[in-house]
Amino acid sequence: MMPDLRKLMKQMKTQELKVKEIVMRFEGKEWVFKNPTVMKMELMGQTTFQVLGSYEEKVPIKEEDVKLVMEKTGKSREEVIKALEESKDIAEAILKLSE
């Protein structure tokens, strides 16, 4: 490693954090990182976090979708939520729960 880079790394006060989960929320979706590697770096009064690892994209289930599927199928809230999470589609969830 170059001497200047080593000096910069020392100045950055790099620290690895033990993190179990990180959730990044966007408009209409979430990214969930399980057991990521997270580095915290401080330089010139600014703190930066670097997140490394794989993530799962999740789309939140709308309450009105849950109610509609419950109404159409007569199934419990838990069954409906599970079906919507698996299918990610209202019509498909209704068909699956109506079998």
Per residue in 25-55, pLDDT (tens digit) is: 999 899 999 999 999 998 888 999 999 999 9
Which domain CATH number covers 39?
2.20.70.30
Structure tokens at 29: 């979706």
Same domain? 54 vs 17: yes
Query: Is residue 5 a part of any domain in this protein?
Result: no
Same domain? 22 vs 53: yes
Q: Domain range for residue 92?
A: 63-98
Element housing 77 (H / E): helix 77-87
Element housing 78 (H / E): helix 77-87
Query: Is residue 1 a part of any domain in this protein?
Result: no
When divided into structural domains, the chain yields a total of 2
Per residue in 47-69, pLDDT (tens digit) is: 999 999 999 998 889 999 999 99
Here the contacts of 33-41 (C-beta below 8 Å, separation 24 or greater) are 39/14, 39/15, 40/14, 40/15, 40/16, 41/12, 41/13, 41/14, 41/15
Query: pTM here?
Result: 0.61
